[in-house]
Amino acid sequence: MEKGLLPELAPVAEGPCPGELQDFDSLVQRHRPRIFRFLLASLRDREAAENLTQDCFMRAYKARDQFRGGSSLGTWLMHIAANLVRDHEANSRLKFWKRKLRYDVDLNDVGDWMPDHQKSPEALALAREQVEAIWRAAASLSERQRTVFLLRFVEDMDLLEIAAVTGMKEGTVKTHLFRAVQSVRFGLEEGK
């Protein structure tokens, strides 16, 4: 191997921002709201979302030396969070409680997901009704469709980011998103 290639390879092996990973408290402060919001939207259970948010950052901390910079830190953390959701959903011991808790999200928390907290009470009530209708429609989606739908519309991620988080190809993400949007629209029309 030529000696001229070694300096170019060294930064990639260390990761793109080793200082950012070393200041893990700042990393948590910056990314925690987005990770929690995604987990809460996915699970619709505040306690489980809080626990999995902690698990996400614990896993990231333990694996910080393995991060090589193939994606942004935010995408890497969302990938961990998406895997935690999948593991949580697959855990058969929690199926009874999952069904019980699925609809226990306090709709007052929805205000945390809305970008403008200065809206009139009437506008907030209408927005809450719309969000509740979307939740009901999204509840019937498959796990993959729901994950893609939430990453796109709750987290405002683009298709390539969603592909990186979920490990799917971009075309597969498009297909799941298209089907999810169709199902939610159909569910909203049925609910009228």
pLDDT digits 0-9 by tens, 50-68 = 999 999 999 999 988 888 8
Does 4 score more than 50 pLDDT?
no
pLDDT digits 0-9 by tens, 125-136 = 777 787 788 888
Average pLDDT of span 78-102: 68
Q: Identify whether the C-beta of residue 140 lies closer than 8 Å to the C-beta of residue 191.
A: no
Domains and CATH numbers, the chain: 12-191 (1.20.140)
Of 9-18, 52-61, 69-78, where does mean pLDDT reach its minimum? 9-18
* Mean pLDDT of all residues belonging to the chain: 77
Nearest 5°: the CA angle 119, 125, 128 is: 100
**What DSSP line would sit under 16-74, residue for residue?**
S-HHHHHSHHHHHHHHHHHHHHHHHHHH--HHHHHHHHHHHHHHHHHTGGG--SSS-HH
